[in-house]
Amino acid sequence: MSSSRRHLVDTRLGQMHVRTLGEGGVPLVLLHSQVVSSRWYDDLAPLLAGDRLIVMPDRIGYGDSDPAPRQLSFSEFAEATIDGLDALGVAEFDTAGIHSGGIEAIELAVQLPDRVRRVATITAPVFNDEERPAFKEMFGPPPEFADDASHLEFAWGWWHGAQPEGYDLEIVQTWLVDHLKAWPNYWWTFVEGIDYPMAERLPQVTQPLLLMVPHDDIHEQTERAIPLLPEGSEVIDLPHMTKVMEILTTHVEESAGYLKRFFA
């Protein structure tokens, strides 16, 4: 996304790298998932930037932002993002996120009811006590760097498996590089996401809310969120998307259409 502008801004947790695209309108803040960076939105952002400013932070500890100083909660991630938005002069804004980016979007909406106009999340997992240990084990610490480069094989296999069928392998290389930048501390973002009190926070959202529900590996957990949504929330079921990456790749124009309509 060569036409995007790059910014380095100070936050309470270190310098944050932010990309912006477009101008005007109510800014839309796009929040990426764990392991990756704002490049997550390279295909989606240009479809949303026709008449508004798009703001894409690299979460602290990810992409080209400073490393995380310690294990951080999503409340702290959101507070650092607020610092970054303040530094850029962004007052009122809309926000959207995928997986852990959606968690942060929910947190921003709850923390800033007077500044967040609308919020969209792609998945909103509600984990129960019985399944949390298994999910934490599944997304446990990655292997250490190894002389035989087996850690690279691990990371490549991770993203190759997430790739929608027939999609360009170049994007796998992009995600692999971001994965290595976040190594090894990204794993505790998974832990924080699994422990996030989604069932408590969702009913506290007062803004218009859109939940998009792909049938991915946390589909069951996201369906639990639907009865907890604030009155008037919108739900879009996406049974034809079985990997969350399809939202940003093979079905990106469809996804952009839902978001543009909701944020209009």
CATH of the domain at 58: 3.40.50.1820
Q: What is the mean pLDDT of the chain?
A: 94
Q: Can you give the three-state secondary structure of 103-152, one letter per residue?
A: HHHHHHHHHCCCCEEEEEEECCCCCCCCCHHHHHHHCCCCCCCCCCCHHH
Average pLDDT over residues 213-217: 96
Largest CA distance in the chain: 54
CA distance 136 to 125: 14
The domain tally of the chain equals 1
Residue 158's pLDDT is 86
CA distance 114 to 98: 23
Q: Which residues contact 163 (CB under 8 A, 6 or more apart)?
A: 169, 171, 172, 245
87, pLDDT greater than 90 = yes
* Virtual torsion, Cα 156, 162, 168, 169, nearest 10 deg: 10
pTM of the model: 0.96
Average pLDDT over residues 109-133: 97
246, pLDDT greater than 80 = yes
202, pLDDT greater than 70 = yes
Q: Which residue range forms the structural domain that includes residue 103?
A: 5-263
Q: What is the DSSP letter of 244?
A: G
Residue ranges in 32-98 assigned as alpha helix (H): 45-48, 74-87
Task: For the chain, give the number of residues.
Answer: 264
Q: Do 34 and 189 meet the contact criterion of CB atoms below 8 Å apart?
A: yes
The position carrying tokens 């309509």 is: 261
Residue 131: pLDDT band with limits 50, 70, 90: very high
2, pLDDT greater than 60 = no
The position carrying tokens 């952002």 is: 45
Residue 194's pLDDT is 97
Burial (CB < 10 A; 0-12, 13-18, 19+), residue 95, is buried
Tell me the CA distances in angstroms from 256 to 26, 36, 85, 101, 260, one per residue in order: 16, 20, 23, 16, 6
